[in-house]
Amino acid sequence: MDIDKDAEASVQRALFEQVRRHTGIAMNERKWTMLKGRLRRRVMALGLPDYRDYLQVLDTNVEEVRDFIDLVTTNETSFFRTPRIWEYLSEAFLPYWHSLETGAPLRVWSAAASSGEEAWSTAMLCEEFRARQPSFRYTIVGTDISDGILATARAGRYQGRSLEGLRLHHPALAQKYLRSDGEWASVNDALRANVTFRQHNLYALPRDFGQFDLVLLRNVLIYFDQDGQQAVLANVRRAMKPDAVLIVGESESLSRMATDFTFEQPLIYRNGRHNEERDHEHA
């Protein structure tokens, strides 16, 4: 699978373009070794001589594009990742939202759901809140570009570090909302009743999604260049209600971007439409 340097540079550019075309993710030379490593086994499984032949397959086989997306996207998450986010949701966001008494269910979008732990964590938090406020209702939509990882999210069945972390840091929630099966555990029916998953590319407009009160867009913007970040944020905002909350990842910030989101606290922003109207009224 070795090729000369000029040919390798051409293949590198072509594969980077395929990644960007199908996922929106911007890669550079620092990612080349990683990308080759992820694709090598697939190229060998297809019996292809090298990556140039694989590029031809990508151009002609829609099914292979799905496998390609699964291979090149990073899917790493855990239950209740970044504790301060969940403290904010439990102690500030949910009580405030419920106090508005709109009569509608809370609508949450886990916009880079990966293997589902974030969506299921949100559901556990909502179930705990509903135990204190029986009139509270909610729905959660988890999306990801990878069909393969969404199968794991829909199954809601976990083992290893993900499961161990939940049991260690939130033992009461793990016992209450997971059904154990040897080394594995599955989310229970109370959570499944309010959570759905669907495939979606953040580079595309969110059609038939409706409007959300809360969007979790965490640890995904770092994989896009500046133009890609702006495009993703614009698409996400189209699916948010006025004054809805956006939460980003711990390595992400919107402070240097031209967006209509209003900073609330680190990692937490509000859709600025409501704020703009309110500020205009009091000007």
Q: Which overall architecture, per CATH, does domain 5-72 show?
A: Orthogonal Bundle (1.10)
83-281 CATH choice from 3.40.50.150, 3.40.1010.10, 3.40.1400.10, 1.10.540.10: 3.40.50.150
Q: Name the pLDDT band for 61 (thresholds 50, 70, 90).
A: confident
Instruction: Report helix, strand or coil for 27.
Output: coil
Q: How far is CA 198 from CA 11, 108, 127, 251, in A?
A: 32, 13, 22, 26
Q: Give residue-wise pLDDT tens across range 219-270.
A: 889 888 888 899 999 999 999 999 999 999 988 989 888 888 999 999 999 9
Indicate the domain borders of the chain: 5-72, 83-281
Q: Give residue-wise pLDDT tens across range 145-186.
A: 988 899 999 999 999 989 999 999 999 999 999 999 888 999
The answer to whether 192 touches 156, Cβ cutoff 8 Å, is: yes
Q: Give residue-wise pLDDT tens across range 11-24.
A: 888 898 888 888 87
Q: Name the pLDDT band for 3 (thresholds 50, 70, 90).
A: low
Q: Give residue-wise pLDDT tens across range 26-44.
A: 777 888 888 888 888 888 8
Helix (H) or strand (E) holding 145: none
More confident residue, 252 or 66: 252
Among 57-61, 64-68, 72-76, the least confident range: 72-76
For 123, the token pair is 């559901």
Q: Give residue-wise pLDDT tens across range 89-136.
A: 999 999 999 999 889 999 999 999 999 999 999 999 999 999 999 999
Average pLDDT over residues 69-98: 89
Residue-level pLDDT at 75: 66
Check pLDDT > 90 for residue 195: yes
